[in-house]
Amino acid sequence: MTGVLVPLGSDAAAGLRPATREVLTLARDLGEVTALAHTTPTADLLAELGSYGVTRVLTTPLPEPASAAAVAAQAVVSAVTEVSCAVVLFTSSFTTKEIAAHTAHRLGAGLLIDVGGVHLDGGRLVGGKRAFGGTWETVCEVRTEVAVATVTPNAVMARPAPQPTVPELRDLPAEIEVPPRLELLERTVADHSGDTRPSLAEAAIVVSGGRGTFGDFEPVEELADALGAAVGTTRDCVEEGWLPPEAMVGQTGTTVAPRVYIGAGISGAPHHIGGMAGAGTVVAVNIDDEAPLVQLADFAVIGDLSSVLADAVEALREHGG
């Protein structure tokens, strides 16, 4: 049976993230799943991993600077060797892409970034992704013995295993070299415990507002809350100071692949589209029916976003949503 490694990252202590549950669901379909943690998992985390069919959990602490990709990657490589995995599956974020790159380099493994699903075919890992602003659908395969991939959020619905497992817990001895000449001077992790909305990168629905909001994000936020969605935006709005940089979707912002992407008052520049072209369904609201985002949408309303979004919220409330 193919061994699949899923690195949980350092934030697993607080419970599994939705994206990690999705990756565990995909991993289980590929073979026997081993998870890698950096602190001893709590009983709750172990039970949750068991509910997703994980058979083994390896734990190894990371030396400082633990947040350097080159450090985390060495732990992943040790785990791959320890349990001879043929596939390493990461969630997809800036941080994990860097760790995945260092891991693939050390393993001499082929690397797939931002795939929207994976399967094995003749022992090879195959993954699909959208390319060139979502105009092409490509299927890539890995030709090396070991494959490393990052999977976009919302690629699959997370499903617990039909039969829960009791994961074996094992300490992983790993000799990790600290990268030369590198020093972390300061690190702060934003506190998201009070957040009422899902994280932008992982949300199943994203409602984004662009310059067409003229800085009034209330209609966008109200629709997002009616849908349980995250709020996104464009670079122009970040530059205006209307929303923080974390909310930016695009080439140089966050890549999102939600089930539904609703863009209001957004023209749809290539830089923006590159970051949301993996969305399942695209809805646009714009006064201009020629706007590129309208042209690539599945459904578009041509009109003033403030009234259209407010009316949509009202209709959703009536529906009981």
Ligand X SMILES: Cc1cc2nc3c(=O)[nH]c(=O)nc-3n(C[C@H](O)[C@H](O)[C@H](O)COP(=O)(O)OP(=O)(O)OC[C@H]3O[C@@H](n4cnc5c(N)ncnc54)[C@H](O)[C@@H]3O)c2cc1C
Residues that bind ligand X (CB under 6 A): 111-113, 131, 140, 210-212, 234-237, 248-253, 265-267, 269, 271-272, 275, 285-288, 291, 304-305
Please identify which residue in the block is written with the tokens 């969630």. Answer: 91
- Could you tell which of other proteins, ligand X, none binds residue 288, using a CB distance below 5 to 8 A set by kind? ligand X
Our CB check for ligand X shows the closer of 113 and 279 to be 113
Q: Is 69 in the site for other proteins (CB under 8 A)?
A: yes
Q: Is 159 in the site for other proteins (CB under 8 A)?
A: no
Q: Is 143 in the site for other proteins (CB under 8 A)?
A: yes
Neighbours of 155 (CB within 10 A): 23
Among 138, 166, 168, 171, binds other proteins (CB under 8 A): 138
DSSP code, position 19: H
Our CB check for other proteins shows the closer of 15 and 171 to be 15
Among 203, 231, 237, 243, binds other proteins (CB under 8 A): 203
Question: CB of residue 168 vs other proteins: minimum separation in angstroms?
Answer: 29
Residues with Cβ within 8 Å of 209's Cβ and at least 6 positions away in sequence, in order, are: 217, 219, 220, 231, 232, 233, 237, 263, 264, 265, 266, 305
Among 89, 229, 243, 257, binds other proteins (CB under 8 A): 229
| Measured torsion, CA atoms of residues 217, 277, 22, 28, in degrees rounded to the nearest 10 | 180
Integer CA distances (angstroms), 162 to 16, 32, 119, 159, 282, in order: 18, 14, 19, 9, 33
- Could you tell which of other proteins, ligand X, none binds residue 173, using a CB distance below 5 to 8 A set by kind? none
Pairing of strands 118-121, 124-131: antiparallel
